[in-house]
Amino acid sequence: SPLYAVFGNPVAHSKSPQIHAGFAAQLSDPVRYEPRLAPVDDFPGHWRAFMAEGGRGANVTVPFKQEAAALADRLSDRAQQAGAVNTLILDRNGEVVGDNTDGAGLLLDLKRLEAPLEGARILVLGAGGAVRGVLQPLLEAQPSALVIANRTIDKATALAERFDIQGRVRGCGFEEIKGRFDLVINATSASLAGELPPLPDTLFDEGALAYDMMYGAAPTVFLQWAQTFGVRCVDGLGMLVGQAAESWYQWRGTRPDTTPILAALRADLR
């Protein structure tokens, strides 16, 4: 049966094997998907050994996302834009393609949630690697405005300039955020430290959705804060399943139904 893997260090915590096993069962496609622990100093060697075993593709997680980009024969446009690779694909010519499915995964999840996108005002908090990969797919959903707010203002304005082809993207600091939004996406790693960026309390419009790219058994500090405004709050577990579904699609050409897989993961988190 076709062989896939997730490479990381550490990798034991990865939910990807469970997610892809779920896709395989759902679609009656007997793929094997294994966690592979590579030493930090020899990811390329372990990738080559995996290919020699017949491996057809892999997900790549911390700390190998940049190295994966370096060993790929070519990069997809979206991997170039994100500046990182989370998916390696062996194409039919035997070339290794580096792809990034995080942005598509977020959009899959936002569409599942029927989130306000087209004509909506979207605010993205953060300007790091997680944001670079999602701006293009968010813009393709045709929002009326996209604001990037970040602690380090220069990073937000630089990103906004790079992506602002249609004059709808603006970068600023947290204190300068103006207006209300239909969708607010937290892509800062502040949640990891249990911190909340200094946000105005006039952020959410009627019917807004607060989305955190992070997830956990308990709501993140950002979602706890958003809940006090009575808006709909969703964490990033669905984005995780979404990026997996997009990787699966690149490898197998089929689209799994993410809903039951997400429900099973959610049950395990509790």
Binding-site residue numbers for shikimate are 14-16, 61, 86, 102, 215, 243
Write out the binding residues. 14-16, 61, 77, 86, 102, 126-130, 150-155, 213, 215, 236, 243
Residue closer to ligand ATR (CB basis): 96 or 212: 212
Q: 3-class SS at 237? A: helix
Residue closer to ligand ATR (CB basis): 9 or 189: 189
In 3D space, the residue among 68, 83, 60 whose CA is nearest the CA of residue 134 turns out to be 83
Question: Shortest gap between Cβ of 16 and ligand ATR (angstroms)?
Answer: 18
Q: Are 159 and 135 in contact (CB under 8 A)?
A: yes
The rounded distance, in Å, linking the Cα atoms of 12 and 67 is 20
Between the alpha carbon of residue 50 and those of residues 3, 10, 85, 180, 233, the distances in Å are 9, 17, 17, 49, 40
In the bound state, the residue with its beta carbon closest to ligand ATR is 128
- Tokens at residue 260, please? 């039951």
Between the alpha carbon of residue 26 and those of residues 40, 230, 260, the distances in Å are 34, 36, 9
Catalytic annotation present for 111: no
Catalytic residue among 20, 36, 46, 65: 65
Residue closer to ligand ATR (CB basis): 45 or 200: 200
Question: Shortest gap between Cβ of 13 and ligand ATR (angstroms)?
Answer: 16
Q: Are 145 and 167 in contact (CB under 8 A)?
A: no
Query: Which chain residues interact with ligand ATR by CB under 6 A?
Result: 126-130, 150-152, 155, 187-190, 193, 195, 197
Question: Shortest gap between Cβ of 128 and ligand ATR (angstroms)?
Answer: 2
Residues designated catalytic: 65
